[in-house]
Amino acid sequence: IKIERAELRLVHLPLLTPFVISTGTMTHKTFPLLVLRGEGVDGMAEGVMDPLPDYLEETIAGALDLLRNAVLPRLVGLRIGSPSDIAPLLAPWRGNRMAKAVVEMAVWDLWARSLNQPLCHLLGGVRDRIEVGVSLGIAPLDVTLDRIAEAQAQGYRRVKLKIKQGHDLTLLAGVRAEFPDIKLTVDANTDYTLSDLPVLRGMDAFDLDYIEQPLAFDDILDHVQVQAALNTAICLDESIRTAKDARIALQMGAARVINIKVGRVGGIAEARAIHDVSAAFGAPVWCGGMLESGVGRAHNIHLATLPNFTKPGDTSSASRYFARDIVNEPLEATDGLMPVPPGPGIGVTLDHVALDAVSEVIEVWTA
Ligand code: OSB
Ligand code: MG
């Protein structure tokens, strides 16, 4: 397929509820959206980098610069036989995996649509709906208890609580007093250090399925010490950018579970490689989220149909995040199961009226 046109937009979508994690508060989801066209079909993807580098190093400004100046001018006009054909365009540039993922994922969607195949079929997915839970931001105990009760009533398969220093063991005791049996996890988004080992060890008392990313975003080695000191499994998110990172982390015992976010690791090829190396180590993976719009959400759902995604992911109903999404298809879970949107590619189409109201076109390239 020949890539005939690329349109890069910046989308600014208000969140229904501010999302609070240890590193800060999000009130809007701002992201670059890339739409590629070829042979009469559109392929699309969104970026998961933030306005400021508070989750990982990449920023929206940096990503737009790389895409506009280095990648997209060379992508448009290219004829590809499969998504791996764009690798030479991305390989020269160091890091910037979130920016690269936007391009790679849009090419996969375009390719799948040109073949009239759902993306999950081309990936080797093994299910047509995925198990999902909710990720609950930092809030007082009473608010958290109400949110858990609501998630339980809606059938979500696990609850992940955001924690930070000083908002951890007491919160967990309060939650376990009300909900002794729910599948529960916590995510520290890097807020602890090795000197907090006693607090982390205290979490063993709460029957957590795993503790996500307790230490620094660029650490693997110190997590080995945490994992060795705890009964609870450690899950790595920020620390894992590549299949090599995953291999080293699992080999050294830094974690027993991996959170795969396709937008974090540079795209579908790297996400599959992380999935495969984790399976080889007998380590389950699950699909994380970055509060994506329907475009990124649909990509996540398709990826999570791969066989080793055996723990519930973060891809909950779009209506939990946004009053109005930018895609036409509702992405809603029932009984904790999110159906794969059917149809070619990622299975969703842009709602252009909704999109125009919340976005600006940054640049368009044509062959
Ligand atoms: O660490 O998983 C994370 C959101 C923004 C930044 C980091 C994270 C998250 C989430 C939200 O946990 C998951 C979701 O509901 O999309
Ligand atoms: Mg996380």
Q: Over the stretch 81-130, which tens digit does the pLDDT of each residue have? A: 999 999 999 999 999 999 999 999 999 999 999 999 999 999 999 999 99
Distance from residue 363's CA to the centre of ligand 2 (Å): 32
Are 126 and 225 within one domain?
yes
244 a catalytic residue: no
**259 is in which domain, residue-wise?**
121-339
Are 165 and 308 within one domain?
yes
User: Does the CB atom of residue 290 touch ligand 1 within 6 A?
Assistant: yes
Does some domain include residue 286? Answer: yes
Are 111 and 146 within one domain?
no
Q: Which of 23, 58, 135 to mutate to test the pocket of ligand 1 (most atoms within 8 A of CB)?
A: 135
Are 241 and 277 within one domain?
yes
> Of 29, 162, 164, 311, which is the active-site residue?
162
Are 62 and 148 within one domain?
no
Interface ipTM > 0.85: yes
311 a catalytic residue: no
Contact 1, 80 (CB under 8 A): yes
Q: What is the pTM of this model?
A: 0.98
Are 137 and 79 within one domain?
no
Are 195 and 237 within one domain?
yes
> Of 100, 160, 164, 261, which is the active-site residue?
261
Q: How many domains does the chain have?
A: 2
Nearest CA to ligand 1 atom 12: 135
Res. 36 pLDDT band, cuts 50 70 90:
very high
Does some domain include residue 280? Answer: yes
Are 33 and 165 within one domain?
no
Q: Tell me what pLDDT residue 197 has.
A: 98
Are 36 and 141 within one domain?
no
Are 149 and 208 within one domain?
yes
Are 66 and 148 within one domain?
no
Are 207 and 275 within one domain?
yes
